[in-house]
């Protein structure tokens, strides 16, 4: 008898439905076909044991053929155990096949028939919903994660026995109710806050600008000046994630198994801090069966590269393309996988090897020439994508002792939200007006660059359109370029940042004070730093 069950295979951060056909006939052989990997091939042994340990029978003395389709997709891992096992039971008349086509079924069996936790449930549940399955049968630990998908019955099971009894209508399992995600600003789960940071008003202002415009930041300052402390707090002033953003981010964390048990959704913007010894594959993603890297785990959040000059140059180089595209594309002979990677980058570094160059009351002990060489280690591709250079000087003892605490993250975040709203409207109007102009859908690359949400992502064309300067502003910018010896790359960065400062100010046009402030955030382009 031929029976069909349905499982799923992960493909990047998405899942594909796998149809499992079980045919039981005369004979004694066991065939498993359809590009299974070693773990799938071993399923026969696990299934045999699991069935026997649960008073179920493995059909002895029969020929079992199991075909997994589509055949060209490699089937990885052990999560097909459960759908295969249920197919075998239905094929040998131990279970009615009536309800089998209503559910996507996933789960790895242990020998005693328990069902083990696994990776990538959210993309699988989304696929189940999109393919019109009524529900999904899965390991209990992941019920909340799958329940984020609305309109899908999530049936948690702990053992193969429970799955069998449920499908035979001998056990009723109520679909798991979704716990509403807490994405609103008021319920941010953070225990850290900007009000913990004493003084540092200039730095906080720069962070507010970075959060508002989505600008990448580099912090330059001596040891202990609070760089790490500040960096960690950036996510607390970013707007809360939308449900779509949270789902996207959760998918990535889910496929690498970084989502905790019984967790439904990544509710806070991620903050990732990979160590400087990280490999390029671990940073951007890759591997034989491609997995997302740190920059994708930081998707919709913050990536913090502390001690930037310590990272291998080649590791930083591989970030260039993803930062341009806000996604990583990994190509293999048979397929290409995209992992989203849209994050705000914060880099931090000491100003020189000893750490005290430009320090208010300590002397730099570095031999001449070392400072420049040190900075050169990070110049180039990555620095080209960083809009704000922030010099962090340590706060004084008196400031540290002060009782009065500064603004809370919530107060700052409210201003950030307003500035973001202005940008959202601006770029939304642009899409509309482009469609009105004859309604021609723009070419793929062009339309992608059009659908942006923050000033940091403006193309040069958009910069010319939205960052127009009157003669007074142009004059200030020209003088600053000359005075500080800014390189050409500083020019567009200053305009973008000025646009964000004007948005925070609620101003339609960029004014002189906006330009004057923006100019201050280009320390590394100044001649004295070797820019």
Ligand X SMILES: Nc1ncnc2c1ncn2[C@@H]1O[C@H](COP(=O)(O)OP(=O)(O)OP(=O)(O)O)[C@@H](O)[C@H]1O
Interface with Zn ion (CB under 5 A): 352, 354, 357, 364, 366
Binding segment toward ligand X, per CB under 6 A, in 75-83, 147-155, 220-228, 417-425:
220-228
Angle at 396 between CA 390 and CA 522, to 5 degrees: 15
Ranges within 110-129 binding ligand X (CB under 6 A): none
Given Zn ion, ligand X, Mg ion, none, residue 223, with its beta carbon under 5 to 8 Å by kind, binds ligand X
Our finding on whether 293 is near ligand X (CB under 6 A) is no
Our finding on whether 406 is near ligand X (CB under 6 A) is no
| Residue 45 burial (C-beta neighbours within 10 Å; 0-12, 13-18, 19+) | exposed
Task: Report the C-alpha gap between 63 and 44 in whole angstroms.
Answer: 13
Binding segment toward ligand X, per CB under 6 A, in 122-130, 219-227, 328-336, 469-477:
219-227
Our finding on whether 223 is near ligand X (CB under 6 A) is yes
Task: Report the C-alpha gap between 38 and 289 in whole angstroms.
Answer: 14
| Residue closer to ligand X (CB basis): 219 or 255 | 219
Given Zn ion, ligand X, Mg ion, none, residue 500, with its beta carbon under 5 to 8 Å by kind, binds none
CB 4 within 8 A of CB 19: yes
One DSSP character per residue, 274-331 reads --TT--HHHHHEETTTTEE-HHHHTTTSEEEESSGGGS-HHHHHTTHHHHHHTEEEEE
Our finding on whether 305 is near ligand X (CB under 6 A) is no
Quick one: which of 5, 43, 92, 225 contacts ligand X (CB under 6 A)? 225
Ranges within 321-380 binding ligand X (CB under 6 A): 350
Given ligand X, Zn ion, Mg ion, none, residue 225, with its beta carbon under 5 to 8 Å by kind, binds ligand X
User: Shortest gap between Cβ of 229 and ligand X (angstroms)?
Assistant: 3
Task: Report the C-alpha gap between 531 and 522 in whole angstroms.
Answer: 9
CB 122 within 8 A of CB 247: yes
User: Shortest gap between Cβ of 354 and ligand X (angstroms)?
Assistant: 12
Q: Which residue is nearest to Mg ion (CB)?
A: 228
Q: Which residues of 64-88 are buried (b: 16+ CB within 10 A; e: fewer)?
A: bbbbbbeeebebbbbbbbbbbbbbb
| Residue closer to Zn ion (CB basis): 12 or 531 | 531
Phi then psi dihedrals of residue 309, to 5 deg? -65, -15
User: Shortest gap between Cβ of 232 and ligand X (angstroms)?
Assistant: 8
Task: Report the C-alpha gap between 114 and 161 in whole angstroms.
Answer: 9
Our finding on whether 200 is near ligand X (CB under 6 A) is yes
| Residue closer to ligand X (CB basis): 117 or 199 | 199
Given Mg ion, Zn ion, ligand X, none, residue 506, with its beta carbon under 5 to 8 Å by kind, binds none
| Residue closer to Zn ion (CB basis): 357 or 484 | 357
| Residue closer to ligand X (CB basis): 12 or 235 | 235
User: Shortest gap between Cβ of 225 and ligand X (angstroms)?
Assistant: 4
Cα diameter, the chain: 90
Given ligand X, Mg ion, Zn ion, none, residue 104, with its beta carbon under 5 to 8 Å by kind, binds none
CB 198 within 8 A of CB 168: no
Quick one: which of 215, 227, 269, 499 contacts ligand X (CB under 6 A)? 227
As given in the structure block, the two tokens for residue 18 are 């796998």
Distance spanning both ends of the chain, measured CA to CA: 74
User: Shortest gap between Cβ of 353 and Mg ion (angstroms)?
Assistant: 16
Q: Which residue is nearest to ligand X (CB)?
A: 226
Residues that bind Mg ion in the complex, under the rule CB under 5 A = 228
Q: Which residues of 221-259 are buried (b: 16+ CB within 10 A; e: fewer)?
A: bbeebbbbbbbbbbbbbbbbbeeebbbbbbbbbbbbeeb
Quick one: which of 22, 188, 197, 518 contacts ligand X (CB under 6 A)? 197
Contact positions vs ligand X (CB under 6 A): 197-200, 221, 223-229, 350, 395, 400
């Amino acid at each position: 008898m031929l029976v069909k069950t349905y499982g799923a295979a992960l493909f990047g951060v998405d899942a594909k439905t796998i149809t499992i056909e079980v045919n039981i006939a005369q004979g004694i052989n066991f065939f498993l076909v359809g590009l299974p990997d070693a773990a799938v091939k071993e399923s026969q042994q696990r299934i045999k044991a699991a069935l026997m340990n649960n008073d179920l029978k493995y059909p002895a003395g029969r020929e079992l053929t199991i075909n997994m389709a589509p055949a060209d997709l490699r089937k990885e891992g052990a999560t097909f155990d459960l759908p295969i096992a249920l197919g075998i039971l239905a094929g040998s008349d131990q279970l009615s096949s009536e309800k089998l086509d209503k559910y996507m079924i996933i789960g790895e069996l242990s020998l005693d028939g328990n069902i083990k936790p696994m990776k990538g449930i959210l993309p699988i549940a989304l696929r189940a919903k999109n393919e019109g399955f009524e529900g999904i049968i899965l390991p209990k630990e992941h019920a909340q994660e799958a329940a984020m998908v609305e309109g899908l019955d999530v049936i948690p099971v702990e053992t193969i026995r429970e799955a069998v009894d449920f499908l035979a209508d001998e056990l009723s399992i109520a679909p798991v109710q979704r716990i509403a995600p807490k994405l609103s600003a008021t319920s941010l789960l953070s225990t850290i806050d900007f009000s913990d940071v004493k003084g540092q008003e200039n730095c906080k202002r720069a962070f507010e600008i970075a959060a508002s415009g989505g600008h990448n930041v580099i912090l330059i300052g001596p040891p202990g000046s609070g760089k790490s402390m500040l960096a960690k707090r950036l996510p607390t002033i970013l707007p809360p994630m939308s449900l779509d953003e949270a789902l996207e981010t959760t998918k990535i964390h889910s496929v690498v198994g970084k989502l905790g048990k019984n967790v439904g959704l990544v509710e806070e913007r991620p903050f990732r801090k990979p160590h400087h010894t990280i490999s390029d594959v671990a940073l951007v993603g890759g591997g034989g069966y491609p997995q997302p890297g740190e920059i994708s785990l930081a998707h919709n959040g913050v990536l913090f590269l502390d001690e930037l000059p310590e990272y291998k140059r080649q590791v930083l180089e591989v970030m260039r393309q993803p930062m341009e595209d806000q996604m990583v594309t990994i190509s293999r002979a048979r397929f290409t996988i995209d992992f989203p990677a849209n994050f705000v980058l914060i880099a931090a570094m000491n100003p020189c090897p000893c750490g005290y160059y430009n320090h208010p009351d300590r002397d730099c002990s570095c031999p001449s020439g070392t400072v420049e060489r040190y900075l050169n280690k990070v110049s180039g591709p990555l620095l080209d994508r960083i809009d704000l250079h922030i010099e962090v000087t340590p706060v004084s003892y008196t400031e540290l002792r002060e009782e009065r605490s500064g603004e809370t993250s919530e107060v700052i975040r409210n201003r950030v939200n307003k500035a973001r709203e202005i940008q959202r409207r601006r770029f939304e109007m642009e899409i509309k007006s482009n469609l009105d102009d004859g309604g021609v859908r723009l070419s793929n690359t062009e339309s992608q660059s059009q659908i942006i949400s923050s000033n940091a992502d403006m193309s040069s064309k958009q910069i010319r359109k939205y960052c127009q300067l009157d003669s007074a502003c142009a004059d200030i910018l020209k003088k600053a370029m000359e005075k500080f010896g800014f390189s050409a790359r500083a020019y567009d960065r200053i305009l973008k940042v000025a646009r964000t400062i004007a948005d925070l100010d609620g101003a339609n046009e960029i004014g002189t004070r906006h330009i004057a402030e923006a100019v201050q955030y280009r320390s590394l382009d100044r001649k004295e730093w070797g820019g």
